[in-house]
Amino acid sequence: MQNNFIYLDNNATTPLDPRVLEEMMPYLTDMFGNASSSHRMGKQLNAIVEKGRRQMADLIDANEEDIFFTAGATEAINMALQGFPRIAGRTMHIITVQTEHPAVLDTCGYLESTGVEVTYLPVDGDGLINFDKLRAAFKSNTALVSVMHVNNETGVIQDIERIAEIAHGYGALFMSDGTQSVGKLAVEASSFIDILTFSAHKFYGPKGIGGVYFNPRLIMKPLIYGGGHEGGARSGTLNVPGIVGMGKAAELAALQMSQDKERIGKLRDTLEQQLLTIEGAKLNGSQEQRIYTTSNIRFDGVNNEAVLLGLKDICVSNGSACHSFVMEPSHVLQAMGLTKDEANNSIRFSLGRFNTEEEIKQTVEAVKQIITRLRAMAF
């Protein structure tokens, strides 16, 4: 089925790569069994599950036995933060960042209600943390530092290798939400990351499947009990079609990461350069330390909801998809120093593997027209 949309909201979700769907189809039809069953089909499916685990491990440079499947990154984040080992009789302290995804911030908020201490680091105008402020945040009971790799709203890339080095220097472990980076940037989890979360639908795989990498030294408390699947880490019947799809998406990402980066980056730069010629248009976040898929631009004096309505069949975003029905200014942009009005003037354009030059041309023309029309209506 064809649609007439121009889709520039790839940070919210990516389209399923046709090659991934083709790989999944047998497990949505004939090979429908339970991978935990002891019969012949079950054993064959278990082998397929382990293939998907290897493919995912290869993408992030990890050992397959350290990969655990979940329903997505939100569950993986909860599994990691809520299941983090605590020392009896000692209050745990976590350091995170004000611009994290709600999956991290809301879970940390819950942990605070259970007695965990949480420090939320500020960011500068580019969306980056200050290493001196990070060092100053450590306490004797700091157990974990959790910093996302790529911000979902601005595309800003934190220097997680340096952050991990600092955390380890203070005896703390390092966790990163890799939802926006895994499959798009090279990530070497086993080199310096203790916990890494990811989701297949952010790199052209299916929805409803994701996972977490745990350093083998860690013994995490399960979030879900019942059946002892995934070595007891995450109970529940395995989503075999999803695992197959994520494995194939991981394999394809590894093969064409450089190609995607070059082609998508050129399209993003073309879009951005032309949109920034609009009077009062400004880029939000670091221009240099940013992923090649994302451009967050504010158009002074123009409400982003009005822009989204005016663009009609062009899919862009005014913030995180998780808060798409909450009419509030972006907490990420406000943490970077933007006013509520400036945050409400901002649009995120996130490009992907299947966008074309013609779509970028049409988007630029449409945005220029709607900005001009909205400003004329304001006078």
Q: Is 315 a catalytic residue?
A: no
**Cα separation, 69 vs 213, whole angstroms:** 9
Q: What is the DSSP letter of 158?
A: P
How far is residue 249 from each of residues 255, 259, 293, measured CA to CA in Å? 10, 15, 17
CB 153 within 8 A of CB 295: no
- Rounded CA separation 11/107 (Å): 21
Residue with token string 């064959």: 44
Contact status, residue 241 vs residue 26, Cβ threshold 8 Å: no
Torsions phi, psi of 251, nearest 5? -60, -45
List 322, 323, 374, 375, catalytic entry: 322
3-state DSSP assignment of residue 153: coil
Whether residue 349 contacts residue 154, with contact meaning beta carbons closer than 8 Å, is answered with no
Give catalytic residue positions.
Answer: 322
